[in-house]
Chains A and B, each alone.
Chain A
Amino acid sequence: MKRLLLLLLGCLCLGGCASLPGEERSFALCLGVHASTSGVEVAIQQPNYKGDQKYLILSAAGDSFDEALSSLTAVSPSRLNFGQLRLVVFSQETAASADFPQLVAEISAIPDMRLNAMALLTEDSVSQLLEALTPQTGVRLSKYLDTLLRARVELGLLPGSTLSDMRRMGQRQSPALGRMALKKEGLPQDGLDTQAEALSAGSEGEVIFGGCGLIGQDGLLHDTLSLRETQLLTLLLGRSRDLPLTWEEAAFTLHVKELSVDWSQGQVTAKVVGRALMTRGAPAEAETLLEEDLRALMKRLNAASCDALGLRRQEMFTHPFSMGMSVAEWTGEMHRLQVEAEVTLLPQA
């Protein structure tokens, strides 16, 4: 019996040797997708292991995402792998089209896909954007993107939503996707102090990152936010604790101590308690400005039916035995929501 077993294992080992996985693989670091009525265009950026050129940009088009990806695989010098993906860029046109949720599902279902890749939106051509996305000398693109994106999220300039968030949240919470653009076009820079502005403009070569697009309950893009609104959104999401905020009348760095966003029937209330390190203006003035902007932001979110703050999650606790409201009902409820913001700024110790 033992000999039989050994023989069997030996045969299997010999058989298995013939089916070793291929070593020639390309690890895509960035994926760009643009879908329009004429078809889907897919572009990837991957390290080039053989030639002088450090990174390769490959692009392909097709009637559907699958078809475009197949074409891309065909033109790729080696087998494509998305296990090290850092960035997924969708054109805003794609995010606004009805196929967007299906597209996200298809991308997430790619074998070995790294779902922790950050999802961003752009108004520019995705291929051009990837071409322009080159790191400073001596830094690998992956490391460069990791550092840069983390810094942007900490500053509140990007909401930091990933493919994983988009897949997992389902219809319980809407994602707010960050934005990126070619530098020549630029993004709205209103309200940033000099430090943040320098970070935004200086370090990332030909591409700048900041702002966000609001995905509604239907899974489509409905609106975009400016840099300061994005900062306030990340503040309400609890993702950044120290924010440099600037208005004409006041400027300060806010260190958040307490934060709550509470939903009750027909109303949403945001409460922020923090310490403000004032560089310009008085705390009372800053409180008023912040309250007004937070109210305006929440109204915009509700108008776009973007439940980025996870209000529906709170609503579900009122119906623990069922899914509660349908998507349409919740969208209507969001449009009707009253918003309230209370900000308390403590003096710097």
Chain B
Amino acid sequence: MAEPITKTLAHSLERLDALLHRDVNTDMVRRLLRLFSRDAAVFFVDGMCSGEFLQRFVLDPARAVAEVPAARPLEQAVILALPVGDVSFVTDFDALVQGLVNGKAVILVEGMAGAVCVDIRFFLRRSISTPLNENVVMGPHEGFNETLRDNITLLRRIFHTPELIGEMTTVGTVSPVNLCVLYLQKAVSPVSLARIRERLKGISCDHVLSIGALEQLLEDHPFSMLPQCVLTERPDRAASFLLEGQVVILMDGAPQALVMPVSLLHQFHTSEDTALRWPYGSFLRVIRLCGAALTLLLPGLFVALVLFHPAALPVALLTSILESQAAVPLSIPVETFMMLIMFNLINEAGTRVPGVVGTSLGTVSGLILGQAAVEANLIHPLLIIVVAVSSLGSYALPDYELSLAFRMGQLLFLLAACLGGLYGMAALMLVTLARLCALTSLGAPYLAPLAPRRPRNPDLLLRLPLWRQRLRAYLANPADMRRASGRMRNWRRS
């Protein structure tokens, strides 16, 4: 039960000083003033409110009515006196403190059993800029930033319709974080929406640090290696998910949107696929899928073929491999593991060090270390090509988390290849597929619409023509599956 705000200003000030720890919290500012011939006080957090707005919209109007008697009930008179759009009246200390820490100014007046919250928030924030990790050649170049309001605005600018619903909520018990659950009213599946609401309500932790942490608290299978949500920093991609009937969650302080439910194939799609004409989009998608297959299987296949099934290799290639291998003191599996670990090391180091240095580090490590290792007969030259190609494949994956999952899977497949050759890899593939098929994202099958079969657009492995994509994803509201009635290109060529 929240503690109500009393009519006695002295008591409220005392209580609020204690709640805000004002004796040590020096940026919690209190300013006493007169309002409607009564004592009053305004509280705000230094740096989260605009000084100019405070002066123009709170202090100046307050001075004008400082000794004027109130002609209406006090709370109405105070609200009417302030020329601000977003003003609310709260009656308990919890809501008051919440508004305050969110950057609002709070006004308390002697004799008023409540407080008025005035939204004059203004804090430093990053401007809208190009997405850092999801670059495209064609399509918009703006990405989300860390401000929830800006991110919602970016989506509202795409959908000029009230059908885009944004439900504001918070997670975290001690330090709640603001969230916005966005969906298109008619497109969203009521089941998915209910599940999201239920899960958000069921999160019980003191604070959710990042959207990645939120993802871990929401996903169906926390022990699975594959991500069951999509994180995107592109508003257009988030919009495409909304159109498909999926739910987008924006979080204050996170420059990414969390999308649920998703299938594995969604994670191979980029916004560019739709922006480009269908043959180009399909081509890029095939390249991406090949990249994924190469990342996952190529090192394992190399080891399996050389070690276990040499008869399946052309003899010229085999001879060339064995000739160069004869000079290397390490065995092929050890070499391959070493190379993959090295690659991951270079990748991680390149990500952590600042921009230009990171690029140079990658080049230096890749070229010089590789060259030196070959010359010192530590590494087989063909292996460098194998590892480089498989690494390129991992970079072609549009989703960072998926790329990490594939890089881990690559090591597992390599281990399987070392133990059982192609048979080991096939067995691991079977186990992986069986588990993948059993996986769900927000209760929806992870490999649908492939397995099990669901109604679908010709936009899965290939991106076939846009005008044939009349259906939403199987994850959408089953009562409104069609995106268009009749032909999409409803005109005749003259």
Residues of A within 8 A of B (CB): 13, 16-17, 20-21, 23, 25, 27, 29, 47, 49-50, 81, 83-84, 86, 112, 114, 140, 142-143
- Interface residue B433 (Cβ < 8 Å from any Cβ of A): no
Contact check, B316 vs A142: say whether CB atoms are below 8 A apart: yes
Q: Is B311 a contact partner of A23 (Cβ separation < 8 A)? A: no
Report whether B310 and A25 are in contact in the complex, using a CB–CB cutoff of 8 Å.
Answer: yes
The minimal Cβ–Cβ distance linking B415 to chain A, given in whole angstroms, is 7
Whether the Cβ atoms of B323 and A49 lie closer than 8 Å is: yes
By the criterion CB–CB under 8 Å, are B315 and A29 in contact? yes
Contact A50 B326 (CB under 8 A): yes
Chain B 315-337, CB-CB to A under 8 Å as 1, else 0, gives: 11011001101100001110000
B386 beta carbon closer than 8 Å to chain A: no
Of B316, B318, B331, which contacts A20 at CB under 8 A?
B331
C-beta contact mask, B401-421 vs A, less than 8 Å → 1, else 0?
A: 000000000000001001110
Residues on A with beta carbons closer than 8 Å to the beta carbon of B326? 49-50
- Flag whether B54 is at the interface (Cβ < 8 A): no
Residues of B within 8 A of A142 (CB): 315-316, 319
Residues of B within 8 A of A (CB): 306-308, 310-311, 315-316, 318-319, 322-323, 325-326, 331-333, 415, 418-420
Q: Which residue in A20, A27, A49 is a CB contact (below 8 Å) of B310?
A: A27
Residues of A within 8 A of B331 (CB): 20, 23
- Top 8 A-B pairs ranked by shortest CB distance? A83-B311, A49-B326, A142-B315, A16-B419, A84-B315, A49-B323, A50-B326, A49-B322
Chain A residue at minimal CB-CB distance from B319: A47
- Determine whether the beta carbon of A25 is less than 8 Å from that of B322: yes
- The chain A residue sitting closest to B223, CB to CB, is A2
Known: A20-B331, A49-B323. A143 touches B316 (CB 8 A): yes
Q: Once the chains are docked, how many angstroms separate the CA of A50 from the CA of B420? A: 28
Whole-angstrom distance from the CB of B326 to the nearest CB of chain A?
Answer: 4
A-B contact pairs, 10 of them (CB 8 A): A13-B415, A17-B419, A20-B333, A23-B306, A25-B310, A27-B315, A27-B322, A81-B310, A140-B319, A142-B316
Chain B residues closer than 8 Å to A16, beta-carbon distance: 419-420
Best-buried of A13, A16, A49, A140 by chain B (most CB within 10 Å) = A49
Q: Which of B307, B322, B323, B415 has the most CB of A within 10 A?
A: B322
The residue of chain A having its C-beta at the shortest distance from the C-beta of B312 within the complex is A83
Give A27 to B312 CA distance when docked, in angstroms. 13
- C-alpha gap A142/B311 in the complex (Å): 13
| In the bound complex, CA of A13 to CA of B419 (Å) | 7
With A17-B419, A143-B316 in contact, is A112–B311 under 8 Å at CB? yes
Besides A13-B419, A49-B323, 17 new A-B residue pairs in contact (Cβ under 8 A), listed by A number: A13-B415, A16-B420, A17-B418, A17-B419, A20-B307, A20-B333, A23-B307, A23-B325, A23-B332, A25-B322, A27-B315, A47-B323, A81-B311, A83-B311, A84-B318, A86-B315, A140-B319
Main SS of chain A's interface residues? loop
Decide yes or no: A21 and B308 within 8 Å by CB, A142-B315, A143-B316 being known contacts. yes
Q: How many A-B residue pairs have CB under 8 A?
A: 54
Distance in Å: Cβ of B224 to nearest Cβ of chain A: 13
Min CB gap B367→A, angstroms = 28
Distance from B105 Cβ to chain A, minimum over Cβ atoms (Å): 55
**Contact status A27-B319, CB under 8 Å:** yes
B418 to chain A, nearest CB (A): 6
Kindly provide the distance from the CB of A84 to the nearest chain B CB, expressed in whole angstroms.
4
Set of chain B residues within 8 Å of A13, measured between Cβ atoms: 415, 419
Chain B residues within 8 Å of A47, by CB: 319, 322-323
A107 → chain B closest CB, angstroms: 16
Most A CB within 10 A of own CB, among B315, B322, B415, B420 = B315
Asked if residues B316 and A140 are in contact (CB atoms below 8 Å), the reply is yes
Whole-angstrom distance from the CB of A116 to the nearest CB of chain B?
10
Contacts of A112 in B (CB 8 A): 311
Residues on the B chain within 8 Å of A86, using CB: 315
Chain A nearest CB from B145 CB (Å) reads 42
Chain B residues with CB below 8 A from A50, complex form: 326
Taking the nearest CB of chain A, how far is it from the CB of B385, in angstroms?
A: 19
- Nearest CB in chain B to that of A145: its residue: B315
The listed residue (A21, A23, A27) touching B318 by CB distance below 8 A is A27
Residue of B at shortest CB range from A16? B419
Query: Residues of A contacting B307 with CB < 8 Å?
Result: 20-21, 23
Chain A: CB-nearest residue to B314? A142
A20–B316 Cα distance when bound, in Å, is 24
Neighbouring B residues of A17 by C-beta, 8 Å: 418-419
Cα of A64 to Cα of B323 in the assembled complex, Å = 33
- A112 to B319 CA separation, bound complex (whole angstroms): 17
| B418 contacts across to A, CB distance below 8 A | 17, 20
Give the distance in Å from the alpha carbon of A23 to the alpha carbon of B345 in the complex: 27
Neighbouring A residues of B419 by C-beta, 8 Å: 13, 16-17, 20
Please report the C-alpha to C-alpha distance between residue A86 and residue B314 in the assembled complex, in whole angstroms. Answer: 12
Q: Which residues of A contact B311 (CB under 8 A)?
A: 81, 83-84, 112, 114
Question: What distance in Å separates the Cβ of A21 from its nearest Cβ neighbour in chain B?
Answer: 6
Distance, CA A13 to CA B308, complexed state (A):
17
Q: In whole angstroms, what is the CA distance A86 to B418 when docked?
A: 28
A residues in contact with B306, CB < 8 Å: 23
A46 nearest CB neighbor, chain B only = B319
Which residues of B have CB within 8 Å of A114?
311
Q: Smallest Cβ distance from B461 to chain A, in angstroms? A: 32
Which residues of A are found within 8 Å of B310, using beta-carbon distances? Answer: 25, 27, 81, 83-84
Rounded to whole angstroms, the CA-CA distance of A47 and B415 in the bound complex is: 30
Cα A9 to Cα B332 in complex, Å, equals 23
With A and B bound together, what is the CA distance between A25 and B308 in angstroms?
11
Residue of B nearest to A113 (CB): B311
Looking at the assembled complex, report how far the CB atom of A10 sits from the nearest CB atom of chain B, in whole angstroms: 11
- What is the bound-complex CA distance between A36 and B418, given in angstroms? 44
* Min C-beta distance of A6 to chain B, whole Å: 11
In this complex, what residue of B is CB-closest to A26?
B322
List A contacts of B319 (CB < 8 A): 27, 47, 49, 140, 142
Distance of A66 Cα from B96 Cα, bound (Å): 93
Q: Tell me, rounded to whole Å, the shortest Cβ–Cβ distance linking B303 to chain A.
A: 10
Chain B residues with CB under 8 A of A23 = 306-307, 325, 331-332
Closest Cβ of chain B: how far from A146's Cβ, in Å?
9
Min CB–CB distance B409 → chain A (angstroms): 16
Cα–Cα, bound, A140→B418 (Å): 29
Give the chain A neighbours of B308 by CB distance below 8 A: 21
> Bound complex: CA of A27 vs CA of B317, how far in Å?
12
CB closest residue in chain A, given B418: A20
Q: How far is the CA of A112 from the CA of B421 in the complex (A)?
A: 15
- When distances are taken between beta carbons in the complex, the residues of chain A under 8 Å from B415 are 13
CB distance from A268 to the nearest CB of B (A): 39
Minimum Cβ distance to chain B for residue A150 (Å): 15
CB distance from B435 to the nearest CB of A (A): 12
Residues of B within 8 A of A25 (CB): 310, 322
A47 to B307, CA, bound (A): 17
Nearest CB of B to A251, in Å: 38
Smallest CB–CB gap between A313 and chain B, Å? 30
CB-CB under 8 A from B315, the residues of chain A are: 27, 29, 84, 86, 140, 142-143
